């Protein structure tokens, strides 16, 4: 699978001291001036617009930012000395990167109303365009997940339900695989042997065009997926999933898609001459001497592979139990009146005989 890179978007982070929402590339809070702590994560904005600023794009490509080991100030990946205290960044802690933040928010997030002057502002705005008031609280409320009136289901309840169904499944498995042993006597036996008669006839199949025999008559064709590749190949159709945003650790998110490359080929019906069953000759009996039926073939006919089935009826505890086998040598052992141990499941079927 190939990752198709669509571009970069600026992320945001929330100051843990004053709860101000800041642009991802801002290393210090716009509200209280404090540095961004190492344990504060980047978040997706309500609207993600692709960046055109070459410097910010270069910052994302340079790698995750680093936090000064002396004052904890955040610095760009390519910085050698801390912008806060001037300390050497050789041993600086590198921010985590690679986390998938969510589906790309490329559409409009709508508008929010200023709590001070009631003016409408874009959902991505941080300050009211009319009065300059902060929209941080309003944005936070818009970004909140809706609450429900019902109480959340506790993990204990969920675990209990799972364990109940697991126990029920195990109980059913035990029930249907458990067997009882009964002593049964052979009351009767029967057998059936069948031989199919084959003749050449037109048979319709389906296959990709390249796999159709040369002597076949090709019918209707459609385009059908033949192969999928992780890398582009000649004639392939690119098929990509929904774009999503990945944290680069620099305050910039990279928007990517997972893509595969599909090759379609003609998939056709075709007709060929093949051996098909035109008749079946069967012999049956109620004794221990099975035989194959006599077969008379016409011109351009041949015998197919024969099949054989054998049944034994046992009486055990005044109940009749039927046992089937395809083994002639086993069938010959069941003499009328002989006694055997039957292993019978809960559905009353004989699963084995000893």
Mean pLDDT by 10 residues, the chain (354 residues): 93 92 92 90 93 95 94 92 91 93 85 81 73 68 46 67 80 71 95 96 95 95 95 92 96 96 96 95 96 94 95 94 94 95 90 91
For residues 43 and 309, give the distance between their C-alpha atoms in angstroms, rounded to a whole number: 69
Domain count, the chain: 1
Please report whether residue 186 resides in a domain. Answer: yes
Query: So what's the pLDDT on residue 140?
Result: 54
Rg, the chain, Cα only: 38
DSSP per-residue string spanning 72-122: --EE-TT-SB-TTT--B-TTPEEPP---EEEE---S---EEE-TTT--EEE
Please report whether residue 348 resides in a domain. Answer: yes
Please report whether residue 278 resides in a domain. Answer: no
CB 348 within 8 A of CB 184: no
Question: What pTM value is reported for the model?
Answer: 0.61
Please report whether residue 329 resides in a domain. Answer: yes
Give residue 322's domain range: 180-196+283-292+304-353
Q: Which two tokens stand for residue 85?
A: 């205290």
Query: So what's the pLDDT on residue 147?
Result: 41
Which helix (H) or strand (E) segment holds residue 196: the answer is strand 179-208
Closest C-alpha to 218, from 230, 209, 226: 209
Please report whether residue 254 resides in a domain. Answer: no
DSSP per-residue string spanning 205-229: EEEEGGGS-TTSEEEEEEEEEEEEE
CB 184 within 8 A of CB 315: yes
For residues 34 and 89, give the distance between their C-alpha atoms in angstroms, rounded to a whole number: 19
DSSP per-residue string spanning 125-181: -SB-TTT--B-HHHHHHHHSPPP-SSPPPPHHHHHHHHHHHHHHHHHHHHHHH-EEE
Please report whether residue 347 resides in a domain. Answer: yes
């Amino acid at each position: 699978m190939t990752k198709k890179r669509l571009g970069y978007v600026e992320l945001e982070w929330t100051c843990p001291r004053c709860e101000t929402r800041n642009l991802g590339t801002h290393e210090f809070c716009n509200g209280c001036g404090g540095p961004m702590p190492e344990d504060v994560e980047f978040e997706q904005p309500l609207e993600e617009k692709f960046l055109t600023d070459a410097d910010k794009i270069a910052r994302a490509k340079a790698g995750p930012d680093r936090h000064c080991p002396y004052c904890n100030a955040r610095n760009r990946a390519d910085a050698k000395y801390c912008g806060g205290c001037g300390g050497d960044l050789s041993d600086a802690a590198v921010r985590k990167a690679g986390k998938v933040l969510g589906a790309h928010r490329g559409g409009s997030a709508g508008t929010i109303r200023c709590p001070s002057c009631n003016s409408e502002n874009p959902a991505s705005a941080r300050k009211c365009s009319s009065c300059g008031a902060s929209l941080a609280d309003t944005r936070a409320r818009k970004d909140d997940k809706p609450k429900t009136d019902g109480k959340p289901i506790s993990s204990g309840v969920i675990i209990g339900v799972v364990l109940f169904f697991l126990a029920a499944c195990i109980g059913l498995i035990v029930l249907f695989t458990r067997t009882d042993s009964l002593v049964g006597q052979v009351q009767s036996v029967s057998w059936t042997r069948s031989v199919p008669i084959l003749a050449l006839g037109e048979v319709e199949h389906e296959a990709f065009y390249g796999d159709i025999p040369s002597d076949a008559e090709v019918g209707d064709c459609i385009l059908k997926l033949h192969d999928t590749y992780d890398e582009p190949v000649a004639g392939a159709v690119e098929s990509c999933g929904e774009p999503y945003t990945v944290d680069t650790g620099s305050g910039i998110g990279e928007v990517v898609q997972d893509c595969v490359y599909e090759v379609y080929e003609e998939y056709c019906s075709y007709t060929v001459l093949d051996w098909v069953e035109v008749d079946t000759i069967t012999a049956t009996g109620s004794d221990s001497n099975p035989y194959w039926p006599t077969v008379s073939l016409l011109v351009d006919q041949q015998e197919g592979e024969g099949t054989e089935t054998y049944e034994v009826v046992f009486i055990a505890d005044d109940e009749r139990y039927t046992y089937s086998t395809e083994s002639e040598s086993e069938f010959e052992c069941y003499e009328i009146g002989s006694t055997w141990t039957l292993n019978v499941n809960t559905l009353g079927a004989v699963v084995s005989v000893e």
